[in-house]
DNA sequence: GAGCACTGC
């Protein structure tokens, strides 16, 4: 029966044919990496596996016996993986060292196998405790756990499970748990020494997300303090592992070769100044000179991508008419694209055609497109850099790192040998930084600082930071938290701060929610905050339908037209949730409605999930949310209620305000800088606001306020006076 | 007149 169950892995005869050279040894600087010559059709890390494993209903009726027999089939496959060959060596390092750093290239099997080796060891030695394996992304955690449960011969949630936001399959029997970084941090916030785990595996550590970096810091303080027994394995895909090793007292570094195909590099002879033009030319050249196979182009942002797609659409037919070459079919790919359009890039193309995908960084780690044989790399990406003094995010186009360039090129060698065309000179490649600047060095650290405070860290400047974000950033974070009432004058966390740290929101929004619970508009504010915490809820209409969609949005949201985007979100939520939710055929009605307004359907479903979660938390934290009379929680056009709601937001975003000038421009209250209302805002055309408040201040071509609301100038004084009174109160409380 | 990418008990 298990043999019939259509497994995705390579069949036996493929595995017999493999000749994989592999190598493992303690790492030295002059290690030579040999490339493997064959690939197994098996997704090692689950990274970027965009479609999660579609398990059939049949699986539910699989018996214990068939689960086991399937697992033993899979075992033959596992045994061919590079890490499996070195199981004993790897385990001896792990057993004899508190921390082990393991470098495993794509296809080495590290993410699925190492945790299972450790699990076997726990069984063998009858040791207690379980294993946590962290991942930066939810899909990866889910896919890995699903796969490993199959290999282990159990159902998800038995010995192997996963825990991600909104979805937890673990039970008390679970010994191996895949979870997102964020979930492990939440566990740290609740149960500070992670007593239930005996081994923690940090996967994809090279990605250096803020959350991974924080976890590394917490783990170091744990093994130096209350948990000297804890075993830690740091897994990374790049060779720059010395930093991990040094951080953990020169932990040993192991290197396991992966399985991927060779990718030939090509560079420009002279640099280009028009990157879109260069990408198009390169694609045309590939199309004329190379065998069939799809092209993946990396461009920095949506603007360049849309431009490239438009040009390519125009010239594709012309080019293929002129010579007998495949017809180029261009596709855009970026996160703000409606999911339906995103999914088009995954469909294989038929006939004498060549798929050309123009993508942002999303295709570098998060999404894998099969059939790609050629990569065209602009060498650029967009990055958000936080300016602490200004409380402003800037969006910059910058050169990528060498690691990133290699990752991009590698996308051409996942299924067969490929070619990578770098649209810059080889001499410039050598000058690129080895690694990208870690996220934490360019981020707002208010939220990390709150976590550390909640954890009980007093001296933040000298904490075991894996990457210290710097004194200035930390001090700004402390200042911000003090102003939000999360810290007292001595820098100790307040009761309010404790509550804020437990909410799954950025501190500013948490503080808005707490304020709302105090003044009695919690339910409405939760709805708005839920909308704000979902990225890409309102999609960008294409230029042709832009005016029409804007008109429709404006005509639906009477209060939003006057008061701005936060109130508009609530109006849209009310229609979606209360009005469309009632009918017989709610879901198709909702879908049509979303389409007409260019709203993400998936986005609104996420809003509902966030809302449910926040309501549960709030009930627990302030026991002040009531189920009765949901209808009355609609916003309507009640000016008094709207003012009350906006004032709640003002307590969290008092720094994000600007005052209207006689010439109808705006200047920020804090620094006097000029600021413009973002064109996506409801208030973009409205020229009569005395003041504005915004949840985000981003500098692109100029300073833009996003998620903008109208405020009265008198509110500023009112809110500041209240905050001062609260602060005073807090000081006297703590005396 | 405009939108890098992820993520949370």
pLDDT tens for each residue of A667-693: 999 888 899 999 889 999 888 899 999
Q: How far is the CA of A437 from the C1' of B4 (A)?
A: 14
Strand B nucleotides with an atom less than 7 Å from a protein beta carbon: 1-9
Q: Which of residues 364-383 of A touch strand B (CB under 7 A)?
A: 366-367, 381-383
If pLDDT is split at 50, 70 and 90, which confidence band does A12 have? very low
State the pLDDT at residue A180: 94
Q: Where are the beta strands (DSSP E) in A185-319?
A: 197-202, 231-236, 253-256, 263-268, 294-298
Answer yes or no: is pLDDT of A19 > 60. no
Answer yes or no: is pLDDT of A183 > 90. yes
Q: How far is the CA of A120 from the C1' of B3 (A)?
A: 48
Q: Does at least one atom of strand B sit less than 7 Å from the CB of A303?
A: yes
Q: Which nucleotide is nearest to A189 (CA to C1')?
A: B9
Answer yes or no: is pLDDT of A24 > 80. no
> Mean pLDDT over residues A22-41, rounded?
30
Q: Does at least one atom of strand B sit less than 7 Å from the CB of A678?
A: yes
State the pLDDT at residue A285: 94
Q: Which nucleotide is nearest to A135 (CA to C1')?
A: B7
Answer yes or no: is pLDDT of A84 > 70. yes
Instruction: Using the structure block, give the residue that is written with the tokens 């029997």.
Output: A173
Q: How far is the CA of A68 from the C1' of B3 (A)?
A: 49
Q: Does at least one atom of strand B sit less than 7 Å from the CB of A335?
A: yes
Nearest to A503, CA basis, from A515, A494, A511: A511
Count other C-beta atoms under 10 Å from residue A541's C-beta.
Answer: 18
Q: How far is the CA of A362 from the C1' of B5 (A)?
A: 6
Sheet of A372-377, strands arranged across? A263-268, A418-425, A372-377, A294-298, A353-359, A327-333
Answer yes or no: is pLDDT of A203 > 90. yes
State the pLDDT at residue A48: 33
> Mean pLDDT over residues A376-399, rounded?
89
Q: Where are the beta strands (DSSP E) in A278-370?
A: 294-298, 327-333, 353-359
| Residue scoring higher pLDDT (A660 or A16) | A660
Alpha carbon distance A344, A332 (integer Å): 9
Q: Which nucleotide is nearest to A678 (CA to C1')?
A: B2
Q: Does at least one atom of strand B sit less than 7 Å from the CB of A612?
A: no
Q: What is the pLDDT of residues A456-502, one digit of tens each?
A: 999 999 999 999 999 999 999 999 999 999 999 999 999 999 999 99
Computed over every residue of chain A, the mean pLDDT equals 85
- Helices vs. strands in chain A: H and E counts, helices first: 27, 22
Q: Does at least one atom of strand B sit less than 7 Å from the CB of A109?
A: no
> Mean pLDDT over residues A434-460, rounded?
92
Ordered structural domains, chain A, with CATH: 12-256 (3.40.50.300), 263-437 (3.40.50.300), 447-506 (no CATH), 520-651 (no CATH), 653-735 (no CATH)
Alpha carbon distance A513, A527 (integer Å): 10
Q: How far is the CA of A401 from the C1' of B4 (A)?
A: 15
Q: How far is the CA of A436 from the C1' of B3 (A)?
A: 23
Share of chain A above pLDDT 70, in %: 89
């Amino acid at each position: 029966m298990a043999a019939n169950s259509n497994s995705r892995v390579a069949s036996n005869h493929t595995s017999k044919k493999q000749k994989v050279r592999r190598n493992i040894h303690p790492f030295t600087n002059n290690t030579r990496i040999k490339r493997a010559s064959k690939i197994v059709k098996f997704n090692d890390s689950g990274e970027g596996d965009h479609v999660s494993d579609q398990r059939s209903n049949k699986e539910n009726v699989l018996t214990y016996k068939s689960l086991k027999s399937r697992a033993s089939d899979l075992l033959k496959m596992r045994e061919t993986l590079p890490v499996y060959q070195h199981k004993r060596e790897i385990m001896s390092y792990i057993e004899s060292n508190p921390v082990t750093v393991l470098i495993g290239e794509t296809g080495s099997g590290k993410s699925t196998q190492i945790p299972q080796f450790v699990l076997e060891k726990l069984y063998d030695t009858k040791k207690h405790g379980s294993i946590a394996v962290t991942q930066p992304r939810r899909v990866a955690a889910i896919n890995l756990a699903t796969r490993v449960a199959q290999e282990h011969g159990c159902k998800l949630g038995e010995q192997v499970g996963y825990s991600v936001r909104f979805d937890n399959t673990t039970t008390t029997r679970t010994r191996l748990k895949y979870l997102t970084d964020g979930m492990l941090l939440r566990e740290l916030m609740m149960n500070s020494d992670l007593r239930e785990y005996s081994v923690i595996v940090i996967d994809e550590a090279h990605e250096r997300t803020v959350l991974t970096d924080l976890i590394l810091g917490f783990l170091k303080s744990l093994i130096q303090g209350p948990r000297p027994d804890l075993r830690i394995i740091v897994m990374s895909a790049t060779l720059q592992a010395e930093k991990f090793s040094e951080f953990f007292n020169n932990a040993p570094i192991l290197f396991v070769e992966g399985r991927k195909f060779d990718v030939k590099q090509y560079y420009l002879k002279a640099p280009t100044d028009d990157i879109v033009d260069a990408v198009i030319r390169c694609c045309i050249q590939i199309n004329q000179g190379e065998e069939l196979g799809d092209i993946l182009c990396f461009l920095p942002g949506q603007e360049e991508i849309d431009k490239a797609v438009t040009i390519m659409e125009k010239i594709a037919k012309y080019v293929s008419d002129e010579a007998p070459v495949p017809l180029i079919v261009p596709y855009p790919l970026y996160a703000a694209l409606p999911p339906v359009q995103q999914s088009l890039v995954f469909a294989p193309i038929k006939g004498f055609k060549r798929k050309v995908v123009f993508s942002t960084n999303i295709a570098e780690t998060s999404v894998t497109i099969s059939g790609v044989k050629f990569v065209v790399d602009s060498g650029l990406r967009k990055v958000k850099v936080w300016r602490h003094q200004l409380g402003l995010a800037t969006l910059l186009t910058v050169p990528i790192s060498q690691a990133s360039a290699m990752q991009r090129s590698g996308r051409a060698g996942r299924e067969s040998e490929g070619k990578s065309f770098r649209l810059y000179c080889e001499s410039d490649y050598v000058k690129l930084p080895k690694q990208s600047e870690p996220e934490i060095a360019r981020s707002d650290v208010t939220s990390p600082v709150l976590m550390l405070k909640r954890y009980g860290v007093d001296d933040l400047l000298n904490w075991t930071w894996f990457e210290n974000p710097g004194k200035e950033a930390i001090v700004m974070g402390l200042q911000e938290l003090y102003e939000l009432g999360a810290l007292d004058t001595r820098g100790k966390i307040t009761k309010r701060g404790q509550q804020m740290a437990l909410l799954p929101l950025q501190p500013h929004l948490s503080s808005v929610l707490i304020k709302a619970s105090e003044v009695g508009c919690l339910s409405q504010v939760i709805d708005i905050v839920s909308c704000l915490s979902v990225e890409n809820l309102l999609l960008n209409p294409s230029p042709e339908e832009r005016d029409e969609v804007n008109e429709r949005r404006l005509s639906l949201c009477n209060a939003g037209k006057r008061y701005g985007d936060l109130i508009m979100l609530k109006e849209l939520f009310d229609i979606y949730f209360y009005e469309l939710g009632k009918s017989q055929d709610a879901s198709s009605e909702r879908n049509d409605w979303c389409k007409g307004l260019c709203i993400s359907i998936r986005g609104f479903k996420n809003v509902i999930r966030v809302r449910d979660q926040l309501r549960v938390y709030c009930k627990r934290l302030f026991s002040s949310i009531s189920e009765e009379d949901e209808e009355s929680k609609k916003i309507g056009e009640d000016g008094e209620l709207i003012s009350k709601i906006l004032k709640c937001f003002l307590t969290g975003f008092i720094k994000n305000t600007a005052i209207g000038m006689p010439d109808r421009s705006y200047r920020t209250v804090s620094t006097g800088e000029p600021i413009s209302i973002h064109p996506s805002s409801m208030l973009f055309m409205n020229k009569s606001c005395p003041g504005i408040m915004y949840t985000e201040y981003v500098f692109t071509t100029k300073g833009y306020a996003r998620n903008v609301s109208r405020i009265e100038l008198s509110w500023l004084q009112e809110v500041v006076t209240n905050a001062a009174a609260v602060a005073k109160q807090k000081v006297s409380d703590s005396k």
